[in-house]
Every structure is written in structure tokens, then in C-alpha cells.
Amino acid sequence: MSEAGPMGAEAALDGLVRAGATLAVAESLTGGLLAAEFVAVPGASRAFRGSVTAYATELKGSVLGVDPELLAARGAVDPDVVAQMARGVRSLMGADFGLATTGVAGPDPQDGQPVGTVFVAVSYTSRDGEGGESVSALRLSGDRATIRRKAVSAAVELLLSALEGKPVG
């Protein structure tokens, strides 16, 4: 589990249920860990719609709708890419909230970005049509597994902040 642990995911799911909202997840470096964090919570299906693990760069474009020109110019490890991933999975799965991760867990740099470079994003539309999004840029330390766990924790915290109406990003 992430540093936020199941309590963070449980709190986020409770907030979604209270708001009558749903969540979809798009993952790259976390490779399914973020979705697993949510589905580990009993009753997750009340708010969790599903996830896409778009590990290959081209899938971020073809499945999640990330601009292929953006991917070609900047690579997959980019704040605009993760924002488009969050919007794309929200649209693809008909969810109110989209949560996304991309980054470099190691052992080698990727797209000119050093190991530990991570971006997480949340995109949302409320029932009254209001919406927004936020991207967090992170520089995480540790081995591959630690970076991935920290990225999951950061994504859950970003979702919690959005649900609580706090300034995020």
C-alpha cells in the first residue's frame, strides 16, 4: 500500500460517494498500483469505475487521447501529458474524476527526465458543471518500488485535496 495507505484511498472513496461522484484512473509508472489501492477498499465499486494502464507511450495517445504531437515533442514524462491522461480517462470511462500518473521509476532516465521525476494529475467535473484540474510535479527518491509507492500516495493525496476543495498542484 502507499504511504497514504488504505485509509487515504478509503477517505477518497468516501468523499466520492458523499458527492455522488465517480473515479477513473490512468496509470503509467505505477502500473496498476493506484487502481489496486482503491479496489482494496471494500465497497470501492460504489465510486470506482475502472482504470487504464497505458505503460507504452503510444497507448497514451491511442487509448487516452493524449495529443500525439505533444508526446513526440516532450515524451511521456510531462505535466501536460499527465493532465491529458486524467482528462482522457475521465471521458473514456464516463467518470466525474480522472486521476493519472506518469514518471520515471528507474533504473534509467527516460525522455530526458531523471529517475524520480513524477507527475500526477486530477481532472474533474462536478454535477453542477463546475470543474477543474491540477497537476503536481514531484521529485521522489528511493528505489523503483519506493518511487512507485510514493507516486500512488501523492495521487491519492491530490484527489483528496480536490475533493476537499483545497488549492492543489
Quick: pLDDT tens for 24-51.
999 999 999 999 999 999 999 999 999 9
Q: CA-CA-CA-CA torsion for 125, 21, 102, 38, nearest 10 degrees? A: 170
15 close to 164: Cβ distance less than 8 angstroms:
yes
How many residues are listed for the chain in this entry?
Answer: 169
What is the pTM (predicted TM-score) of this model? 0.93
User: Is residue 1 pLDDT above 90, yes or no?
Assistant: no
What pLDDT score was predicted for residue 130? 75
Cα–Cα distance, 158 to 131 (Å, whole number): 15
Cα–Cα distance, 8 to 49 (Å, whole number): 18
User: Is residue 2 pLDDT above 50, yes or no?
Assistant: no
CB atoms within 10 A of CB 165: 8
What pLDDT score was predicted for residue 72? 96
Please tell me what DSSP assigns to residue 48.
E
Strand partners, 23: 48, 97
Mean pLDDT of 108-124: 96
11: three-class secondary structure by DSSP: helix
Per-position b or e across 49-66, b if 16+ CB within 10 A of its CB: bbbbbbeebebbbebbeb
For the chain, what percent of residues have pLDDT higher than 90?
87
CB atoms within 10 A of CB 149: 21
Q: Which CATH class is domain 5-163?
A: alpha beta
Mean pLDDT of the chain: 93
Higher pLDDT, 19 or 126: 19
**Helix axes of 5-19 and 144-163: crossing angle, nearest 10 degrees:** 30
Cα–Cα distance, 11 to 65 (Å, whole number): 29
